[in-house]
Chain A
Amino acid sequence: EAAVTQSPRNKVTVTGGNVTLSCRQTNSHNYMYWYRQDTGHGLRLIHYSYGAGNLQIGDVPDGYKATRTTQEDFFLLLELASPSQTSLYFCASSDRGNTLYFGEGSRLIVV
């Protein structure tokens, strides 16, 4: 049974559109992360959180907001989507300092 679940798995939106990617983990981990994966850039950290209500900025945060509503749930928000945000997005969870466990990925296309 998947311990990190993302939705939607695929999404197409228009430039300027509003998108929310959802992530739920059942690992009882404190830390959750959002990464984007792009050819030539690999996996890059957007935002992360170490608990409900907490948000930390990652390496490529511009154009993204995030919110951690509970220990289980972490959301990535694109309020004015742009074609440059077309990517494969991964959520992950971990205990502090430990191994990250990834969700299945969410493919977003902005046209």
Chain B
Amino acid sequence: AQKVTQTQTSISVMEKTTVTMDCVYETRDSSYFLFWYKQTASGEIVFLIRQDSYKKENATEGHYSLNFQKPKSSIGLIITATQIEDSAVYFCAMREDYAQGLTFGLGTRVSVFP
């Protein structure tokens, strides 16, 4: 069964700095897909970035990047040059190759201060 764990419940950072948040997952599949989403204060859930397990290069998207460590079953999210608007709850999620829907972690709340 799939399992996704985010151990950090909250992180506070100063604006314009870098924040890193952790996520570890469990799967028996050799092929799987990893996602990061952001939930804003209004409740909206927004897709940020994804990593396919067969890709060796870490995905990047704007000021989001991933630290994919497959042997450790770890997919960290890195946000550089943070802005106040990056304050949100960040969810890690996984889908195994033949499954549908995503399994989510419990989220990490990020607060960015000026």
Contact = CB atoms under 8 A, between A and B. Distances in A.
B50 A99 contact: yes
Interface string B45-68: 111001000000000000000000
A75 interface: no
Interface size class of A (residues with CB under 8 A): 20 to 34
Interface stretch (B11-19, B20-28, B77-85, B94-102): B94-102
B43 A48 contact: no
A45 B43 contact: no
Contact of A97 (B93, B95, B106): B95
Contact of A33 (B101, B106, B107): B101
Interface of A is mostly: strand
B90 interface: no
Contact of A40 (B44, B100, B104, B106): B106
Interface string A33-55: 10100001111110010100000
B33 A58 contact: no
B43 A99 contact: no
Interface of B: 33, 35, 37, 43-47, 50, 91, 93, 95, 97, 100-107
8 contacts: A42-B105, A48-B100, A100-B102, A101-B47, A102-B45, A102-B47, A105-B43, A105-B44
